[in-house]
């Protein structure tokens, strides 16, 4: 606040709020060293006003004195009037503290207020005074107060001027907000930032958390989730041990956290959920351990091998490999041997389980080391699997025969409207069990299958129940080994039959 004499000539405008009282503490008016001059003046003025109010003669009711003359105009006149009245009445109702026969005002004794008590020259505490001395003491105190107020007012005026001058030369610095170091909010956590920015980001984070916990009313949403426990779950029994009710189950490493029959908060509900999950997991583990063989004996590997052409072989892995098994670090090994020349090739680090068995993907092998795909091949597979959880390592072996490209006979395919007849010449051993298969045009979906026995060199097979005018692929399987597929199309009624159907060599037709 600028002083009102800021523009007065010769004055230095200094705010009283910036001047500090350096005098001693004054207990009677609650004035302390270090208070501003504004506080000092205010406290002195308050005490002065209280004294002035108390010495205002207009506030006293003097009607009982039945005065003939005019009421006393001043407090001093009022005191004098009272002294006179006391003196008049002294012989009628003397003060017990006065001596017998004493005359006011000299001998009337007045009890001093605590703030007026003092120590005399002999070190005695003075607590009473004759009325005359009392009036003099009070008058002196009032004069001292008035003199002090005049002095303070002069000093305040001087201080106000000086403070204003200081404020003009040294303006107050702008207000700087305090800084805090957030740990998980704002775009730069871990650094000191102004508190208003942190508060804004904190509110945004809280709002996001509230949405995650259940929207505008997360309390109600979480409570609904707590109350969503399966009905009568507390009275049901454990899946692993039907003799133990769920309410008796515990969780935790020391079993100290038990079931809560009626959960009332998220922690209790979450504990019940974990107890239920653990019970389910234990039950499933028991089923796996006692129902299904997950050991090495439970692994069944079937390898089907067929020649695509003279340089490529297709391997298909099937059977049963429990889901708890995976390829070992060294993976599996496959050895392909030409039955005619004895030459062989070895495929190392083959991830049979992850790359082919689990994905149902065939393994296409390009022959090398002088092996000719026109000859029959033996395929020896060594599967190496491991159970990461139990640490079991298994070695499973399988051997199969892949017919060479020249081992498959030349087929003559004669399609009809709803059937197909296939003729061929067989030079192999008899009798031989074969299987004729018809697939859709893609060669993947089986449409019909027929097993038959070839007893002579003349082989023939007919497959019925096909659809007119439809594209198919025919496959001949000999001793479990599939020959390359041949495409054909059934006839369509009211159409001329195809005239270009002829024998096709299997060696020239890719699968």
pLDDT tens for 269-291 read 888 888 888 888 877 777 766 66
Model confidence at 294, in pLDDT bands (50, 70, 90)?
Answer: low
| CB atoms inside a 10 Å sphere around CB 195 | 13
Look up residue 290 and give its two tokens: 């006692």
**Cβ(302)–Cβ(319) below 8 Å:** yes
CA distance 400 to 402: 7
CA distance 245 to 438: 58
Buried b (16+ CB within 10 A) or exposed e, 222-244: ebeebeebeeeebeeebbbeeee
Among residues of the chain, what percentage have pLDDT more than 90? 29
Q: What is the pLDDT of residue 507?
A: 35
**Cβ(29)–Cβ(42) below 8 Å:** no
Mean pLDDT of the residues in the chain? 82
pLDDT at position 509 over 70: no
Lowest-confidence region among 15-29, 112-126, 438-452: 15-29
pLDDT tens for 157-181 read 999 998 888 888 877 777 788 999 9
CA distance 220 to 168: 60
CA distance 298 to 324: 11
pLDDT at position 487 over 60: yes
Q: What is the pLDDT of residue 93?
A: 44
For the segment 400-422, the average pLDDT, to the nearest whole number, is: 88
CA distance 420 to 412: 10
CATH number of the 297-405 domain? 2.60.40
Exposed (0-12), middle (13-18) or buried (19+): which is 419, by Cβ within 10 Å? middle
Output DSSP code: residue 390: T
pLDDT at position 331 over 60: yes
Q: What is the pLDDT of residue 233?
A: 78
pLDDT tens for 25-60 read 888 878 888 888 888 888 888 888 877 777 777 777
Q: What is the pLDDT of residue 508?
A: 35
Q: What is the pLDDT of residue 501?
A: 45
pLDDT tens for 361-384 read 999 999 999 898 878 889 999 999
pLDDT tens for 226-235 read 777 777 777 7
Buried b (16+ CB within 10 A) or exposed e, 93-114: ebeeebeeeeebbebbbbebee
Q: What share of the chain is helix, strand, coil (3-state, %, to 5)?
A: 30, 25, 40
Nearest to 44 by CA among 138, 153, 129: 153
Q: How many CA atoms lie within 13 A of 279 on its CB side?
A: 23
For the segment 3-16, the average pLDDT, to the nearest whole number, is: 64
Q: What is the dihedral of CA 390, 393, 399, 404, to 10 degrees?
A: 90
| Domain spanning 408-508, CATH architecture | Sandwich (2.60)
R_g of the chain computed on alpha carbons:
58
């Amino acid at each position: 606040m600028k002083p009102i004499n800021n523009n007065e000539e010769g004055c230095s405008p200094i705010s009283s709020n910036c001047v500090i009282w350096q005098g001693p503490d004054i207990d009677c008016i609650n004035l302390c060293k270090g208070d501003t001059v504004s506080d000092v003046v205010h406290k002195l003025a308050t005490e002065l006003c209280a004294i002035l109010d108390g010495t205002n003669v207009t506030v006293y009711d003097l009607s009982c004195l039945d005065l003939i003359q005019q009421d006393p105009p001043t407090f001093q006149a009022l005191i004098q009037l009272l002294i006179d009245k006391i003196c008049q009445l002294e012989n009628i109702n003397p003060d017990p503290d006065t001596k017998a026969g004493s005359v006011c005002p000299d001998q009337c004794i007045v009890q001093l207020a605590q703030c007026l008590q003092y120590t005399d020259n002999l070190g005695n505490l003075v607590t009473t005074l004759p009325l005359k001395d009392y009036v003099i003491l009070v008058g002196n105190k009032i004069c001292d107060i008035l003199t002090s107020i005049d002095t303070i007012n002069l000093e305040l005026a001087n201080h106000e001027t000086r403070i204003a001058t200081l404020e003009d030369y040294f303006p107050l610095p702008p207000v700087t907000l305090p800084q805090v170091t957030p740990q998980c909010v704002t775009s730069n956590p871990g650094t000191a930032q102004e508190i208003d920015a942190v508060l804004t980001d904190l509110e945004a984070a809280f709002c996001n958390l509230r949405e995650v916990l259940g929207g505008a009313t997360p309390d109600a949403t979480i409570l609904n989730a707590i109350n969503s426990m399966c009905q009568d779950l507390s009275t049901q029994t454990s899946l692993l041990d039907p003799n133990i009710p769920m309410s008796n189950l515990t969780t935790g490493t020391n079993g100290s956290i038990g079931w809560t029959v009626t959960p009332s908060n998220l922690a209790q509900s979450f504990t019940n959920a974990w107890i239920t999950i653990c019970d389910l997991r234990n039950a499933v583990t028991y089923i796996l351990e006692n129902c299904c063989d997950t050991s090495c004996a439970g692994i069944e590997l079937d390898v089907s091998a067929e020649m695509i052409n003279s340089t490529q072989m297709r391997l298909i892995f099937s059977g049963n490999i429990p889901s708890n098994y995976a390829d070992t670090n060294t993976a599996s090994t496959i050895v392909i041997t030409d039955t005619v020349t004895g030459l062989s090739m070895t495929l190392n680090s083959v991830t049979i389980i992850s790359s082919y068995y689990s994905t149902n993907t065939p393994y296409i092998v390009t022959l090398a080391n002088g092996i000719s795909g026109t000859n029959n091949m033996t395929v020896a597979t060594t599967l190496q699997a491991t159970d990461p959880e139990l640490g079991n390592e298994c070695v499973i072996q399988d051997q199969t025969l892949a017919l060479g490209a020249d081992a498959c006979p030349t087929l003559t395919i004669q399609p009809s409207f709803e059937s197909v007849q296939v003729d061929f010449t067989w030079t192999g051993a008899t009798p031989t069990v074969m299987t004729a298969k018809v697939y859709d045009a893609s060669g993947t979906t089986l449409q019909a299958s027929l097993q038959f026995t070839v007893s002579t060199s003349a082989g023939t097979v007919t497959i019925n129940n096909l659809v007119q005018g439809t594209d198919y692929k025919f496959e001949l399987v000999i001793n479990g080994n599939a020959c390359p597929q041949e495409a054909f199309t059934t006839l369509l009624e009211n159409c001329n039959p195809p005239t270009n159907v002829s024998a096709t060599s299997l060696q020239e037709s890719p699968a």
